[in-house]
C-alpha cells in the first residue's frame, strides 16, 4: 500500500517527467567511452560529466569525495581484474554521501558512467551522443546502459527532497568509470571503505531484480607443432617429420566443445537463475607461411561460470591434458595453458530484504518484476564479494545495450525513477 508521502513523490515525478528526461539527455551528451584495453581514450568528457554530477549532488546537500584511481594501488586478489598499468588518471570517481540521523538502514546507489564505443556510425540512425527523442524513446549510447539508471537514481533522490522528506538512513551515491572493462571503479569505492546495509545498481534488467551473475575467465592455449615444408611428404614426427599445429589445435577445440556439452548436463552446474558454465574459443592465431607446416597455434578462450564453480581452471586443464594423452605428439609436447584474466560471479539470496522491497515496489506500480540472473557480470560482484553488501540491479530493458541505436523507453525511465524513490524511502525510512 502506498503511503501519502509516497503518493506525493510519485505525483511529483509524474508532473515533472521532463526533468528526468532532460537529465538523461544531458548525461548522454557527454562522451564517456571506456578507453580501449591497450590505450587511452582521447577527447572524452569524463571530467566534464563528473563535474556536472558533482554539482547535482552538491545541490542536494551530498558531501563529496572525488578522486582519481591509481590502479597500481588497488588491492589485487583472485576474482578481481586489477590492471595495475591501466591509466585511469583522467576518469574521476565521484562519491556523494547524504548523512542522516542514522536511525534507518543505509543504502548505496551505484552507477557506471562509462559507455562502450558507438561502433560503426552508419549503423546509427541517431546521433549516439545527441539524446534524440523519437516517439516514446530517447536514443543514445548509454541510454539504457546505464546513464538512464544514473538519471533515474539522481532524480529519485531529488523528488524525495522536493517533497520535503528526510531520510532516516545514510544514502551514498557512487558514479564510477571502468565498468565496461575492468570493474576497477567500483572496486576502488569498496577498497576506500564505502559500506552500506544494501546497494542498488540500476543497470538494464528488464525491470527484473538481478540477484545472480556469472563469473568470467579468459585465457590462452598454445598448441605446438613442428615446422616443415608443406609440399614435401613428411616422415613420422619421431623420425623428424613436421607436425601440423592446426590439426592438433582442432582436437583441442573439440575438447573445449565437449566440455561445454558436459557442463550443460551436469547437476552441479545447474542454477536457478543462470545458464551453466560455458567455454568459447574466441580468437585463433596460427601458421607462418602458406607452404609451411604451422608450428604453433594460439587459441584464446572466454569462459563464463556460475558463482558456485570453484575449480574451472583445473577442469579445463584436465580436459586439455586428457585429449593430449590420446595423441602421441601432444603427449610429449603438451599444450600450454595461461590465464589472462578472470572475475568471480556473485549472488545474493532472492529473499534478501532489498530484493523483496524492490519487487514489492515494482508490483505496486503495476510493473512486472521477478528475481533474475545475468549471463554476464556487473560491478555488483565487488559490492557483494568484497564489501559483503547485499546488492541488486533493477533497470530498463537491455534489448539495445551495446548496440547501434541504443535507446531507453521514456515510460520505463519514469517507472524506474518511481521504483527507486519507493525503495529508497522504504529501505532508509523517512520522517
Ligand atoms: Zn552497464
369 and 325 Cβ atoms separated by less than 8 Å: no
How far does the centroid of ligand 1 lie from the alpha carbon of residue 318, in Å? Answer: 34
How far does the centroid of ligand 1 lie from the alpha carbon of residue 145, in Å? Answer: 5
| The residue to which cell 532516516 is assigned | 168
pLDDT at residue 51 in the model = 97
Helix (H, G, I), strand (E, B) or coil at 65: strand
Give the model confidence (pLDDT) of 316-345 as tens digits: 999 999 999 999 999 999 999 998 889 999
| C-alpha cell recorded at residue 297 | 597455434
Report the 10 Å Cβ neighbour count for 231. 6
Identify residues whose C-beta is under 5 A from ligand 1, the ion. 145-146, 203
Give the model confidence (pLDDT) of 362-406 as tens digits: 999 999 999 999 999 999 999 999 999 999 999 999 999 999 999
187 and 80 Cβ atoms separated by less than 8 Å: yes
Contacts of 323 (CB under 8 A, 6+ apart): 251, 252, 254, 255, 330
What is the rounded distance in angstroms from the CA atom of residue 172 to the CA atom of residue 103? 15
Query: Which of 52, 50, 55, 56 is closest to 69 using CA atoms?
Result: 50
How far does the centroid of ligand 1 lie from the alpha carbon of residue 187, in Å? Answer: 15
What is the rounded distance in angstroms from the CA atom of residue 129 to the CA atom of residue 23? 13
**In the predicted model, is pLDDT for residue 42 greater than 90?**
no
Contacts of 336 (CB under 8 A, 6+ apart): 221, 222, 224
How far does the centroid of ligand 1 lie from the alpha carbon of residue 143, in Å? Answer: 10
pLDDT at residue 269 in the model = 97
How far does the centroid of ligand 1 lie from the alpha carbon of residue 204, in Å? Answer: 7
**In the predicted model, is pLDDT for residue 89 greater than 90?**
no
How far does the centroid of ligand 1 lie from the alpha carbon of residue 325, in Å? Answer: 43
pLDDT at residue 170 in the model = 98
> Against a cut of 0.95, is the pTM above it?
no
CB half-sphere exposure, 25, CA atoms < 13 A: 15
Q: Which residue has the higher pLDDT, 290 or 79?
A: 290
Instruction: For Cα atoms 280, 285, 286, give the angle at the middle one, nearest 5 degrees.
Output: 125
**Domains assigned to the chain:** 4-213+345-428 (3.40.630.10), 216-343 (3.30.70.360)
Amino acid at each position: 500500500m502506498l503511503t501519502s508521502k509516497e503518493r506525493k513523490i510519485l505525483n511529483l515525478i509524474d508532473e515533472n517527467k521532463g526533468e528526468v528526461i532532460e537529465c538523461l539527455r544531458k548525461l548522454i551528451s557527454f562522451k564517456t567511452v571506456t578507453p580501449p584495453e591497450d590505450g587511452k581514450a582521447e577527447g572524452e568528457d569524463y571530467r566534464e560529466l563528473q563535474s556536472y554530477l558533482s554539482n547535482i549532488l552538491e545541490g542536494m546537500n551530498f558531501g563529496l569525495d572525488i578522486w582519481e584511481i591509481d590502479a597500481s594501488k588497488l588491492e589485487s586478489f583472485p576474482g578481481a581484474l586489477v590492471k595495475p598499468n591501466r591509466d585511469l588518471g583522467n576518469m574521476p570517481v565521484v562519491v556523494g554521501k547524504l548523512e542522516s540521523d542514522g536511525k534507518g538502514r543505509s543504502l548505496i546507489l551505484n552507477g557506471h558512467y562509462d559507455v562502450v564505443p558507438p561502433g560503426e556510425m552508419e549503423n546509427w540512425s541517431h546521433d549516439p551522443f545527441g539524446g534524440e527523442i523519437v516517439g516514446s524513446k530517447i536514443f543514445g549510447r548509454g541510454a539504457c546502459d546505464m546513464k538512464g539508471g544514473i538519471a533515474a537514481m539522481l532524480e529519485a533522490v531529488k523528488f524525495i527532497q522536493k517533497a520535503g522528506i528526510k531520510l532516516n538512513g545514510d544514502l551514498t551515491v557512487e558514479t564510477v568509470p571502468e565498468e565496461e572493462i575492468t570493474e576497477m571503479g567500483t572496486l576502488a569505492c569498496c577498497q576506500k571503505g564505502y559500506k552500506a546495509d544494501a546497494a542498488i545498481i540500476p543497470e538494464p534488467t528488464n525491470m527484473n531484480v538481478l540477484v545472480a551473475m556469472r563469473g568470467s575467465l579468459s585465457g590462452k592455449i598454445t598448441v605446438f607443432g613442428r615446422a616443415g615444408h608443406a609440399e614435401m611428404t613428411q616422415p613420422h614426427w619421431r623420425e623428424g617429420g613436421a607436425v601440423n599445429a592446426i590439426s592438433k589445435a582442432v582436437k583441442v577445440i573439440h575438447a573445449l566443445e565437449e566440455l561445454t556439452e558436459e557442463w550443460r548436463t551436469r547437476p552441479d552446474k545447474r542454477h536457478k537463475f543462470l545458464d551453466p558454465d560455458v567455454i568459447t574459443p574466441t580468437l585463433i592465431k596460427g601458421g607462418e607461411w602458406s607452404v609451411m607446416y604451422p608450428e604453433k597455434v594460439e587459441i584464446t578462450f572466454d569462459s563464463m561460470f556460475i558463482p558456485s564453480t570453484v575449480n574451472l581452471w583445473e577442469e579445463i586443464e584436465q580436459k586439455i591434458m586428457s585429449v593430449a594423452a590420446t595423441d602421441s605428439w601432444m603427449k610429449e609436447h603438451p599444450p600450454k595453458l595461461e590465464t589472462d584474466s578472470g572475475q568471480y560471479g556473485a549472488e545474493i539470496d532472492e529473499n534478501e530484504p532489498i530484493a523483496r522491497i524492490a519487487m514489492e515496489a515494482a508490483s505496486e506500480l503495476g510493473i512486472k518484476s521477478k528475481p533474475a540472473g545475468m549471463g554476464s557480470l556487473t560491478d555488483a560482484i565487488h559490492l557483494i564479494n568484497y564489501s559483503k553488501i547485499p546488492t541488486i540491479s533493477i533497470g530498463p530493458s537491455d534489448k539495445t545495450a551495446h548496440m547501434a541505436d541504443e535507446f531507453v523507453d521514456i515510460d520505463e525511465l519514469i517507472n524506474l525513477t518511481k521504483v527507486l524513490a519507493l525503495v529508497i524511502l522504504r529501505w532508509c525510512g523517512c520522517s
